[in-house]
Amino acid sequence: MTTRWFEMKRQDVIDKLGTCPEKGLAEHQAKERLEQIGPNKLLSSERKPPWKMLLDQFKDFMVLVLIAATFISGMLGEWADAVTIMIIVIVNAILGFVQEFRAEKSMEALKALTAPEALVVREGVERKIPAADLVPGDIVLLDTGDKVPADLRLLAIANLEIEESALTGESFPVKKRVENMAGETEVSLGDTRNMAYMGTVVVRGRGKGVIVDTGMHTEMGHITRMIQEAEEDQTPLQRRLDQLGRVLVAFCLLVCALVVVLGILRGEPIYHMFLAGVSLAVAAIPEGLPAIVTIALAIGVQRMIKRNAIIRRLPAVETLGCATVICSDKTGTLTENQMTVREILVGNSHVSVTGEGYDPKGEFRFDGVKGSEFSTFLKCAALCNNAKLTKGEISVGGIFRNLTKGNLSNVWGIAGDPTEGALMVMAAKGKVWRKDLENEEQRLLELPFDSIRKRMSVVYQDAKGQLTTYVKGAPDVMLDLCTHIYKDGRVIQLSDQARREILKKNSEMAQGALRVLALAYRNIEGVASEEDLTEEKVEQKLVFLGLAGMIDPPRPSAVHSIQACRRAGIRTVMITGDHQLTAQAVGKELGLLPRGAKVLTGTQLDQLDDNELQHEAEQTTVYARVTPKHKLRIVRALKRNGHIVAMTGDGVNDAPAVKEADIGIAMGKAGTDVTKEASAMVLADDNFSTIAAAIEEGRGIYDNIRKFIRYLLSCNVGEVLTMFLAVLMGMPLPLLPIQILWMNLVTDGLPAMALGVDPVEKDIMYRRPRDPQESVFSHGLGMRIMSTGVIFAIGTLLAFAVGLMLGQVDLARTMAFNTLVFFQLFFVFSCRSERHSIAEVGLFGNPHLVSAVLISASLQLAVNYIGFLQPIFHTVPLELKHWVIILSIAILPQILGIIGKVIKDRAKERIMYIKA
């Protein structure tokens, strides 16, 4: 029988699960339960096993034709050909399996990195762990935007509302409570308000709960409506290449059939021409292209992960190279996200605060008289706060950068929001600690901060029963709620003159790049019950306490990255909820605001229609005082202007703008689960520089795909034209079927794969963004492929003709065979760049490619000089004079390419000199 957790009292639930609401489970308990119950996962579709991957390599039509040709060869007594063809087919299958297996592993690693996490309390310490590691009895903390990781019985809440449509179909959020529901026999799932269920989303408030069920034992598991994993969709580039592949297959089969028919008509044996046609088709059709595109995308994604950019959707890799605008949050992305209070305005005093980071060491320097209002100001900062100061722990706030500075036990950090952390540190510097205050007062209510309200309130009750609300928020919003001010130890009416002075001081602090928050309080009278503590009741007629100005310095790396993006033709736009003057000061420090440029505020945005905003969006680089709705309008305006937009976000309300953007980017540390799910990319370090690095890698991946398209198709065109022209000119076949198959193996395998991991070109961020609609053959790539194939064919036939003049047809074929192979092995180095010569990019810039070419060249030499291989591949040993001819022809295109590049560059310089 299923336990009816919602009927039980909180303490009974805790006792039954053997846990502690304050300290949670011990690590050894959690480990034992995880072994007994299993991971907190829903059943998902099984991944394709390796053996099936290997078998699938033999399902290709051309491979099946080759296998049939093997049997025909055996029946005709051509055992050497049959065995060799079979070996080549198997080796090709193994290469394809390795490519697919590596891609699959890369995708699995990516999914592990993007797996949901949960904030739990274990052994008294808050920590984030993978949701799969949760067990019954774990104490989980929920915040706005979190996805509930398992089925929970709620223990404590603060204005908690959860959207449960994924489970119940109800579109409205459910307001939660903690009291048990004993005695109610007919209770629907949507009525169990003291429960939170796996897969639902916190849309408001905070909460704490104990896990009662995990994995398939949850309500979501019972209903099985959630599909954990969807089929991997192809990227737009992969789809275009699939279409291209079908066209190429049809074209190649037509040409190969023509070669076979012409050969038979000329008197060649039907069997030999059939085998030649099949071999030529196998060599000509770029069957490795989809696999190499996949591996290039997968390896590129892995490289991005190393640079803290986690790709959630593969199409984002392509879109990154097309980005023209990056819309970025300020706090934590363009700035350090390590807030420190620097200035305070309280009573008649202006106060300077010393100290660095989260270490609660520092002093207050008063420019005026210190009154009793200062202690109330610090008390409000400590109580209207959910952050925690930590010492000797790796906290959510992060202290990794300090680990090298001394003993970990002496390192201070924060768990929670950095802004709240700064206020908590400020209070601690004045010897005011929340844990001491809460020994005498109890929190009854919390009204959480959100981007619409722009404030947070808490209500505390002291031992005498006195209720007090403490509020913090944006100064302009707070002043509208305040009717009095605490000054000179007295609560007096807040005059219009005082309001103007406060706003003036707020502007001065904001101009100094300080983020400013106002603090206020009020003693509440005449409340009969907690139900009467409504938002309207507790947030009116407040007493103004003061302003706290905190600094969040710009990241030095962000300044460099913004400059790099500008060189790359990408405009950076800063969007913040901070005061206009703060945004303006930070924008100038980051180099985003040129002289005369203006900051557009949310209020001004509201006065613009869509057409006016579309015009303003083309010129504005800094927005201030914006809400998530404004973000959505900005993204749409930029997209209407033809931009490819990347948009960052962290809060649940940012999700629509993040989803609307061409490249939605979520914060890995500060981001909510909802925003991460809406995003295409997650920043593991919440750093703007990571976006620039991801764009660089995205451009590099697309470049590498073009590189091996150029290489593969040039080589394949060369092979087809060599056979086709030879038949047209009435020459003997320059290549035998077994030689064509071998060539396909040694040139299209390792070298092509090595191009997929070619390093990013140094000047890649000096180019304009790519047009997302451009063909993969744009910028003359198609013409270069055809011209290279023609050169290969003419050079190979020249070597064949010279061989015929020097001796028998076997020598001529050996020379043609080696010429075409070394044509391709030399040419692969030219494919490393479309803009630079081999000399400029460096011969050894890609060690994987050098190794691949050396291996392929060694294998090619082996079939020439190892005795038992010669009759199989119909080769004869070559002398020095033969190699001089072969290598001279094979390397000639590269030499001509370098000379042509030099002439072209000098012509450009001459034109620029004349213009100057």
State how far the Cα of 483 lies from the Cα of 492, in Å rounded to an integer.
9
Tell me the sheet residues that pair with 119.
Answer: 128, 141
State how far the Cα of 575 lies from the Cα of 617, in Å rounded to an integer.
12
* Conformational region of residue 353, where left means phi above 0, alpha means psi within -120 to 50, and beta covers everything else: beta
Q: How many residues does the chain have?
A: 916
- Report CA dihedral (333, 336, 337, 341) to the nearest 10 degrees: -140
State how far the Cα of 161 lies from the Cα of 397, in Å rounded to an integer.
25
State how far the Cα of 373 lies from the Cα of 853, in Å rounded to an integer.
77
Coil, helix or strand at residue 105: helix
The one catalytic residue in 329, 662, 686, 703 is 329
Give the DSSP H or E segment for 142.
Answer: strand 139-142
Report yes or no: 569 and 767 within 8 Å, Cβ to Cβ.
yes
Is 480 catalytic? The answer is no
**644 is written with which tokens?**
């490819």
Report angle CA 690, 696, 702 to the nearest 5 degrees: 135
Closest CA to 70 of 58, 53, 82, 60: 82
Provide φ and ψ at 156, rounded to 5°: -150, 145
Coil, helix or strand at residue 156: strand
- H helix intervals, 430-483: 434-437, 475-481
Coil, helix or strand at residue 357: coil
User: First vs last Cα of the chain: how many Å apart?
Assistant: 88
**635 is written with which tokens?**
């993204």
Q: Provide the strand spans (E) within 325-405.
A: 325-329, 340-346, 349-353, 364-367, 388-391
Report angle CA 319, 322, 325 to the nearest 5 degrees: 105
Provide the pairing of β-strand 645-649 with 663-667: parallel
State how far the Cα of 803 lies from the Cα of 816, in Å rounded to an integer.
8
Coil, helix or strand at residue 148: coil
State how far the Cα of 9 lies from the Cα of 252, in Å rounded to an integer.
74
Report yes or no: 356 and 674 within 8 Å, Cβ to Cβ.
no
State how far the Cα of 499 lies from the Cα of 244, in Å rounded to an integer.
68
Coil, helix or strand at residue 472: strand
Q: Cβ neighbours of residue 620 under 8 Å, at least 6 residues apart?
A: 573, 597, 598, 599, 600
Q: Cβ neighbours of residue 384 under 8 Å, at least 6 residues apart?
A: 456, 457, 458, 470, 471, 472, 519
Report angle CA 790, 796, 802 to the nearest 5 degrees: 135
State how far the Cα of 711 lies from the Cα of 289, in Å rounded to an integer.
11
Q: How many CB atoms lie within 10 A of CB 913?
A: 8
Q: Provide the strand spans (E) within 654-792.
A: 663-667, 681-683
Coil, helix or strand at residue 647: strand
Q: How many CB atoms lie within 10 A of CB 589?
A: 16
What are the CA-CA distances from residue 689 to residues 304, 338, 574, 620, 879 (Å)? 12, 17, 14, 21, 57
What are the CA-CA distances from residue 866 to residues 375, 470, 816, 822, 873 (Å)? 91, 88, 19, 19, 11
The residues carrying an active-site annotation are 329
